[in-house]
A = this chain, B = another copy of it.
Amino acid sequence: MDMKALVYTGPNQMTYRNEEVPTPREDEVLVEIRAVGICGSDLHAYLGHDERRPAPLILGHEGAGIVHGGEWDQQAVVINPLVSCGECEYCLNGFANQCQSRQIISMPPREGAFAEFVAIPKRNLVPVPEGMSLSTASLAEPIATGWHAVTKGAELSKRPLVENKTLVYGGGAVGLAAALSLAAQGCKQIYLAETNALRRETVEKANVATVFDPLTDQVVGENTMDLVVDCVGNKHTRMGASAAVKPGGVIIHVGLQDSFEGLDVRKFTLQEVTFAGSYTYTMQDFKATLEAMHNGALGALDWIQERPLSDGANAFDDLLNGRIAAAKVVLLPEG
């Protein structure tokens, strides 16, 4: 049986075409995708910069949809795209996101969710709360990434979030999610640095943080931030984070723009700064995020732009050229 899919066919090439519907394995079910977000890592792969994602490949890992068949037939679900083994020391210790044999949909051997169907283990599905649209539900994945980072920051911080001044780098979905998660977890003083004016507008509307352009505004003083969450992750944001963090403070590093430089190790040592990497989320983060989305703790979640899956290539182009104010573009298969 065939389905429509948006296939990455080579650097800067995205082809909307027929592909075979995947066959679920024994522990898996088939999910009909109704909404799937575009992530920065999809853009990265599309540009040919991710050797873990060779063409041809169906990208997309932020999916929500309807189960076909089995016990959960017709259930609306959101997909946790990380498939872990459940048996290694990381899984047993509650860090399935560090499982060394983990897979993620949109990376071989698993195809992604820019398609009408995805095969996925049933244990990776979370029911969508009553009344939540599938577009909104698809935000659970990027928001859980911000939620996990904030949870880690709160754990490592010497004082509770309610006492902390926090700076977030990046006003995309994960940065905004980090700011919303900080507020939901009790933080009262949140600053957010974003260089794109369209994105700043979107974040300002969420009314959760003091938003500024770090290239032109010095809103945040040196040695003043208890916690910095870097959702960009390049040399410049790390230099900014190093300067802004206060003695004994914490930097959580989520972004993956580049791999080296920018950290002031001497300051980290003399002032006992803690710098910790944060990658994706655990299933517990995923569920807690969906609950916070449902009970309103994360605000209106209206920072989405919906586009048909068939228009995906144009959406990629718009995103790469900074023409989209929405923090998240969600693609909708026509079904």
A59 proximal to B (CB < 8 A)? no
Which one of B95, B266, B271 lies within 8 Å of A272 (CB-CB)?
A: B95
Q: Report whether B272 and A275 are in contact in the complex, using a CB–CB cutoff of 8 Å.
A: no
Most buried by B among A254, A270, A272, A278: A272
Q: Report whether B256 and A266 are in contact in the complex, using a CB–CB cutoff of 8 Å.
A: yes
A214 proximal to B (CB < 8 A)? no
Q: In chain A, residues 77-124, which have Cβ atoms closer than 8 Å to a Cβ of chain B?
A: 90, 93, 95, 97-98, 100
Most buried by B among A95, A248, A265: A265
Which one of B156, B247, B256 lies within 8 Å of A270 (CB-CB)?
A: B256
A167 proximal to B (CB < 8 A)? no
Copies in the complex: 2
- List, in ascending order, chain B residues with CB within 8 A of A258's CB: 265-266
A130 proximal to B (CB < 8 A)? no
- Closest Cβ of chain B to A23, distance in Å, is 30
- Closest Cβ of chain B to A288, distance in Å, is 18
Q: Report whether B274 and A276 are in contact in the complex, using a CB–CB cutoff of 8 Å.
A: yes
| Distance between Cα atoms of A273 and B275 in the complex (Å) | 8
A27 proximal to B (CB < 8 A)? no
Type the 1/0 row for A257-290, where 1 means its CB is closer than 8 Å to any CB of B: 0111111111111111111111100000000000
A200 proximal to B (CB < 8 A)? no
Q: Report whether A272 and B97 are in contact in the complex, using a CB–CB cutoff of 8 Å.
A: yes
Type the 1/0 row for A230-256, where 1 means its CB is closer than 8 Å to any CB of B: 000100001000000001100001111
With A95-B272, A271-B279 in contact, do A263 and B266 touch (Cβ < 8 Å)? no
| Distance between Cα atoms of A84 and B259 in the complex (Å) | 38
| Distance between Cα atoms of A238 and B266 in the complex (Å) | 12
- List, in ascending order, chain B residues with CB within 8 A of A259's CB: 264-266
- List, in ascending order, chain B residues with CB within 8 A of A262's CB: 265
Q: Report whether A253 and B277 are in contact in the complex, using a CB–CB cutoff of 8 Å.
A: no
- Closest Cβ of chain B to A65, distance in Å, is 27
Residue of B nearest to A275 (CB): B275
Residue of B nearest to A263 (CB): B263
Which one of B95, B98, B269, B276 lies within 8 Å of A253 (CB-CB)?
A: B269
| Distance between Cα atoms of A254 and B277 in the complex (Å) | 19
A49 proximal to B (CB < 8 A)? no
- List, in ascending order, chain B residues with CB within 8 A of A271's CB: 98, 277, 279
Q: Report whether A100 and B247 are in contact in the complex, using a CB–CB cutoff of 8 Å.
A: yes
Q: In chain A, residues 34-86, which have Cβ atoms closer than 8 Å to a Cβ of chain B?
A: none
Most buried by B among A159, A255, A259: A259
- List, in ascending order, chain B residues with CB within 8 A of A256's CB: 266, 269-270
- List, in ascending order, chain B residues with CB within 8 A of A95's CB: 158, 248, 272
Residue of B nearest to A266 (CB): B259
By a beta-carbon cutoff of 8 Å, the part of chain A in contact with chain B is 90, 93, 95, 97-98, 100, 152, 156, 158-159, 233, 238, 247-248, 253-256, 258-279
8 A-B pairs with least C-beta separation? A259-B266, A269-B277, A268-B277, A274-B276, A98-B247, A275-B275, A272-B277, A98-B248
